[in-house]
Amino acid sequence: MNIVVCVKYVPDATANRQFEADNTVDRVGVDGLLSELDEYAVEQALQLKEKAEDPSAVTVTALCVGPEQATDAVRKALQMGADAGVLVTDEAVAGSDAPATSLVLAKAVEKLAAENGQAEIVMCGMASTDAGMSVVPAMLAERLGLPQVTFASRVETQGDQVRIKRDTDTATEIVGGRMPLLLSVTDQTGEARYPSFKGIMAAKKKPMTTWSLGDLGVDAGSVGASVAWTVVEQTTARPPREAGEIVTDEDGSGAVALAGFLADKKFI
């Protein structure tokens, strides 16, 4: 069985994130890492491998589209336990929106299938922590012609059958599908594992492949900011944090002052 996990290199949420002059996210000049939501996808792929009758017959490949620094995201997936990694990096990809990203991912999945055999499962996280659109999995499934079972909070497999539990605002759904398919998982599937020292050392020997758009047969003119369907027109820096207001209670009026403050802010 082949499992391809799509992962994303995103700016560190705890760092000073910023935009380029063209209002695209700066992914080179800031610290980045593997998207936390994609760690859950890697974890579920590894669990499927571990639960297989013959784990050695299951290959988990981490696939990423991003700048050269995105190697760190793929490497993290390898340290967690993925068997191989692929990074698609090309200057023309910068500024790509969801449709273009799904195009590049689809071509990469197809190239992997041509080289290693079709992927029974293409795994994705529920969203990226930098954009949060949650549309790439569906677009990728459409481009690959695969059925999709999305937003899984629990995943079960039996033979070529996959069944998931999906929790919505009003109900819990049980959805099933037959491989090959695309599967996206939420952060409710369980904590992702931390790379062990053994895993970190083993990752150094695992195959890591880098492709360009030319390797995938993708026209550079079909991706990038110039053909994006969505454009960020303006960005505004978050204002500095203001000092809090202290309510004193020297004469017993503190409760009234606190209630007045909350009422002014429309908290009560």
Looking at residue 44, its pLDDT comes to: 97
Looking at residue 103, its pLDDT comes to: 97
Dihedral angle sign, alpha carbons of residues 102, 107, 112, 118 = positive
Q: Are 65 and 104 in contact (CB under 8 A)?
A: yes
- Provide the CA 215 distance to its chain's centre, in angstroms: 23
From first to last of its 268 residues, what are the pLDDT tens digits of the chain? 999 999 999 987 776 767 777 777 776 667 789 999 999 999 999 999 999 999 999 999 999 999 999 999 999 999 999 999 999 999 999 888 999 999 999 999 999 999 999 999 999 999 988 877 889 999 999 999 999 999 999 999 999 999 999 998 899 999 999 999 999 999 999 999 999 999 999 999 999 999 999 999 999 999 998 898 888 888 887 788 888 878 777 787 888 888 888 898 888 8
- The CA distance from 239 to 241, in Å, is 6
Looking at residue 226, its pLDDT comes to: 87
Looking at residue 199, its pLDDT comes to: 96
Tokens 């009026």 correspond to 253
Looking at residue 253, its pLDDT comes to: 81
Closest CA to 126 of 184, 199, 71: 184
Looking at residue 234, its pLDDT comes to: 81
